[in-house]
Structure 1
Amino acid sequence: MFTWKDLVREPISKLDDEAFTRVRLIVGHAVEQAAVRFQHAAVRFGAEHRLLLADIRRVEHHQATLLRWLQPADQSPLESSIAVAQAAVEVGAQMARCEPDPYAAQALRLGLLEDFDHLYRLAALMDRLEGRDANAILQSYTDIRPGRPTSAQHRAPEDDLRRWYDRYATAPATKLHARIAGAIAYHARDHYLDVGPTFADPVARQLYAELASVKEQHVTQCESLLDPAETWLERWLLQEAAEVYLYWGCLSSETNPRVLAVWDRFLAYELEHLRIVRELYEKTEMRDASEIVPLSFTEPLEFTGERAFIREVLAAEVELGAAGTEFVPRDAESRATQSYRAQLERDGSPSETVAAGYRWSPGTELADPRIRDASVLPAESDRIMNRARRPTDLALNRTGIYLSPTDGPAVVEGRATPRARPAARALAEVRRQYAGEVGLIGHMPAPASLRVVENPGGEVLRRHKVHLLLDKLGERLAFERTGVRLFDALMAKLEAQGSWDRGPTLEELAQFRADEAHHFALLQDVLINLGADPTAVTPSADLAGVELAGIVQVMTDPRTTLPQALHAHLVAELVDSASWEQLVSLADDFGEAALAHKLREPLAQELRHRDTVTTWLKRHAALVVGGTLKYSA
């Protein structure tokens, strides 16, 4: 039914595809994973059907794989998290709006406002950690503003349990909504648990731990809505029906032709699964399956923005909480919840820390001159951490094979005999094949009113040349914006660890940060004057984010030293200075003398940054070699 190449096909474009294409893929993957989990558990109750369960489960697993692998590689973990939160918000909002049972609808709205706040906190983290705008993922479908504060979402376990629906009296839509919402919550929980440890920044790690905890509460809430008297075959029937219902909605609204074909194919699979389970249910339980699942649904999930509904719920219910199985004002929450929350937040709240004073602005908060140009020099502090140990000190390191006298030779002797065909050639062939078949990472956004750019002779530049210039301007803008955040990280590290003789000072780093902020503002103005949107992510800007991801990791890791962070920063400075040289040269080639002149000042400053960081690192190495290295405030 599948081949490996069929499973691993051309991914969607982060830049070109509609945000709801990504949302549909996330929700589809989540529901397939829920099906696989259920069918594994079902073996314990229906051992006589284990072959049928295994057959269908294998198909469900491969469907989940194909959907997950359609996500693009240039989508960072944090961007993926924002997409997961958007899926929870938008799909949760539509189900809450259409839910016929008032109590179940209230439960869905409770989760909606909490997911909405998670999105806001993740957007603040992306802005302040990486200098990137979450709206590039959201595509203006979903607001970035506070919901029910994440710090107020932590409840005692007994306050996350809900009254279950009556399996005989409840509408099928309620049963399907509860399952889809539970699958999304479970997927988000696992996502936050998987992604959180990949961050070096301690605030990011704490935030993900906090979000995963709340999503565990949401899983509890959704599962508790299900009638425990449902038989396992009844639940299997409803699970397959939920998949049919979901894929019908995906097929009805998809805009990407390649992904549309996937939904069409998967809907056919799920209709067959539903038929098989329906027959099994009627044969085993001697009941008409239409009592559980209707022969047809009235309307599919629409996968459209729910901004108006979300704002309405936000205005009316943001102060709502829960006590036991009831929904109550926050000031009426149980003592158990208040005690649980106080314990968790005894050392502070990561969700409050990451978004303190945060207000989203197009192009990140650095687009606001009041924030971009504000003083970032820290208060006087005596918390200088002169570490007793340094990375160059000798200690236990278990990575070398020749340092393991017993196991090392055994591993070498046990190596598989190499095949005649070099593995590298086989890898290259697969990469070459995919490179010849897939499309681009993305395309340039169409400017609203691109102004004519002319060379000195008056000849209008060809459109693709203008787009090349705009692409490179967008790349530098993205790089400079992240550069501001890199200097924020350097200053925090210097404040904690101190510097050395003729090493960096806070004042120098603050000045370099101000230079980066000025470059960002200048590039914004240049793009606006050319009629382009400075908040749009161009293909080169997207790749700049991927390139910088490792540098951000090094510089925000609390375990790295200031010299190690400066070394990572030097990589950024080398790329930055070379790219500014290219940009100036490009402007000259286009005959844009005024633009080239304007870009030469940032180039000179970037060259000074590069040379200064190089000098600091050379001085540090000389002091280490001379045995005279000392750190001071």
Structure 2
Amino acid sequence: MAQFKPFEMEGMPIEEQPMNWKDMVPAPYDKKAVDAYTRTRIILMNGIENNAVLMSHAIERMHPDPEVKKSMALMRRIDSQQQETINWLNPADQSIVETTLGYEQVAVDLTANLAKNEPDPYVKQTLDFALLEDFDHLYRYSCLYDYIEGGDPDSIVQGKTEVKPGRPTSIEHRHPDDSMRKHYDKDTADIKTKMNYITITAGEQQTMLYYRSHGFMYPDEIARQLYAEIAEIEEQHVTQYGLLGDPNETMLEKMAMIELNEAYLYYSCAQTESDPRIKGIWEKFMKMEITHFDECARLIQKVEGRDIMDVVKADVIEPLVVFEENKDYVNSVIDNQLDLAPQNMEFVRMRDLPDSWASFGYLRVMNAKGVPSEEVVSKAGPSLAERDQAANIRKVKQEVARRVEKGMAAVPAR
């Protein structure tokens, strides 16, 4: 596959980048004909652009240099238009839960791809850990889809991603202390680690925001509760992933990496996109982002006196991010890591956790009146519900239930 070499790629003059309303609102894809991975690329890139806009707003509020503020405003306007173009590719007849299944397919196959290609062992372990939780979310929402709409989740994921339980959502709820993670060193971390960090943080952030802004739209009580429950797990994921980044990176350094990541991902999407019209969007937007990256490089040189190569430290970023089937990889992680839990910024077996583990008390509080992610399974048809009876899933639930009962009765004071 082609390599991404940002310093050799042609950009697009920024004065040519603003779009008119007609171009900004393209025709949506046909949900019955679209390839599942075209849908996931659209979902991912919407989240990537959304993250760029949010970070740019944060920088404008904190950076003292007027020239930086002005450049952020210009790039942000283009990123905003790109985000709307991408998001508007989703069709109006795609229901909330159908879109949700796409979000979770993104989470599973994106996380698996990043983990398989992550050079930092700690970052890889963090990705693998959350992978099993997002995998379970796909199953819980599939049960909701069957219950609410009588839909077959395979009509969305198209058999490319398995639909079965992972680490049960009911035992994923953890005390905030247990979301703490170590950060990479900005001066020694591989550029691929930095790209993976930005990608997964943006993707999970978008998922959290989507569930929070759409879950209340259902009149059904279980549906509303399930979206609230999983939105809270996504908040935990955003926290843990966000903490992987080095806080010593300057604001401009972070923005440069975000713009570089956008170009890298658009290039990645274009290499495997099966829809010619949408591939053209990826190629066009990649050129825009190269120009944004170049502008960030100029600002770093002018404001901080640093050359961009001292930040990137690489001429090539590889491998590309590819949506593809990861069934064997996911199953291997399930086999080896289903019973892992975080403690003191490391991952240990649940049997090795002390009875005083903060999350035992937290679980007791959160699940005191029932668990939506368990209740929704009882509403699904037998072909889906029976999957929750797998021996490994029952065993890990029983172990956590035993430890919760044995452990503290309330969330410990901090």
Alignment TM-score > 0.5, same fold: yes
Deviations 1:165-185 (A, max 9, x none): 111111111111111101111
Question: Are the aligned partners of 1:30 and 1:187 in contact in 2 as well (CA < 8 Å)?
Answer: yes
- The code of the aligned residue for 2:34 comes to D
TM superposition shift of 1:194: 1.2
Which secondary structure state, in structure 2, belongs to the residue aligned with residue 94 of structure 1? helix
RMSD: 1.6
Deviations 1:483-512 (A, max 9, x none): xxxxxxxxxxxxxxxxxxxxxxxxxxxxxx
TM-score (norm 2): 0.85
Question: Which of 357, 367, 384 is the matching residue for 1:335?
Answer: 357
Which secondary structure state, in structure 2, belongs to the residue aligned with residue 115 of structure 1? helix
Question: Are the aligned partners of 1:250 and 1:301 in contact in 2 as well (CA < 8 Å)?
Answer: yes
Question: Which of 341, 348, 352 is the matching residue for 2:370?
Answer: 348
Deviations 1:199-219 (A, max 9, x none): 111011111000000000000
Question: Which of 131, 145, 150 is the matching residue for 1:126?
Answer: 145
- The code of the aligned residue for 1:14 comes to K
> Which whole-Å CA distance do the structure 1 matches of 2:154 and 2:41 have between them?
18
- The code of the aligned residue for 2:61 comes to R
Which consecutive unaligned segments of at least 5 residues does structure 1 have?
A: 367-633
Would the alpha carbon gap of residues 360 and 5 (structure 1) be closer, same or farther in structure 2, given more than 3 Å must change?
Answer: farther
TM superposition shift of 1:51: 1.0
Question: Are the aligned partners of 2:146 and 2:381 in contact in 1 as well (CA < 8 Å)?
Answer: no
1:2 aligns with 2:19: yes
- The code of the aligned residue for 1:302 comes to V
TM superposition shift of 1:358: 6.0
Question: Which of 13, 31, 42 is the matching residue for 1:14?
Answer: 31
Which consecutive unaligned segments of at least 5 residues does structure 2 have?
A: 1-17, 387-414
Question: Which of 231, 246, 252 is the matching residue for 1:227?
Answer: 246
> Which whole-Å CA distance do the structure 2 matches of 1:238 and 1:50 have between them?
17
> Which whole-Å CA distance do the structure 2 matches of 1:201 and 1:300 have between them?
41
Question: Are the aligned partners of 1:323 and 1:332 in contact in 2 as well (CA < 8 Å)?
Answer: no
Deviations 1:246-274 (A, max 9, x none): 11110111000110010010000001101
Deviations 1:184-236 (A, max 9, x none): 11111011111110111101111100000000000000110011111111111
The residue that corresponds to 1:144 in the other structure is 163
Structure with larger Rg = 1
Deviations 1:52-94 (A, max 9, x none): 1100000001100000000011110010111101111111110
The residue that corresponds to 1:323 in the other structure is 343
> Which whole-Å CA distance do the structure 2 matches of 1:133 and 1:92 have between them?
24
TM superposition shift of 1:357: 9.0
Deviations 1:291-324 (A, max 9, x none): 3222322321122121111111111111111112
- Listed as ranges, the matches of 1:233-382 within 5 Å are 233-293=252-312, 294-333=314-353, 335-356=357-378, 361=383
The residue that corresponds to 2:41 in the other structure is 24
104-113 or 348-357, which deviates more: 348-357
Would the alpha carbon gap of residues 310 and 360 (structure 1) be closer, same or farther in structure 2, given more than 3 Å must change?
Answer: farther
Question: Are the aligned partners of 1:192 and 1:209 in contact in 2 as well (CA < 8 Å)?
Answer: yes
Question: Which of 217, 241, 264 is the matching residue for 1:198?
Answer: 217
Which secondary structure state, in structure 1, belongs to the residue aligned with residue 347 of structure 2? strand
Question: Are the aligned partners of 1:251 and 1:264 in contact in 2 as well (CA < 8 Å)?
Answer: yes
TM superposition shift of 1:360: 7.3
Would the alpha carbon gap of residues 284 and 324 (structure 1) be closer, same or farther in structure 2, given more than 3 Å must change?
Answer: same
> Which whole-Å CA distance do the structure 2 matches of 1:329 and 1:264 have between them?
45
TM-score (norm 1): 0.56
> Which whole-Å CA distance do the structure 1 matches of 2:381 and 2:342 have between them?
28
Would the alpha carbon gap of residues 50 and 223 (structure 1) be closer, same or farther in structure 2, given more than 3 Å must change?
Answer: same
TM superposition shift of 1:7: 1.3
Question: Are the aligned partners of 1:176 and 1:238 in contact in 2 as well (CA < 8 Å)?
Answer: yes
Deviations 1:96-131 (A, max 9, x none): 110000000000111111000000000011112221
Which secondary structure state, in structure 1, belongs to the residue aligned with residue 177 of structure 2? helix
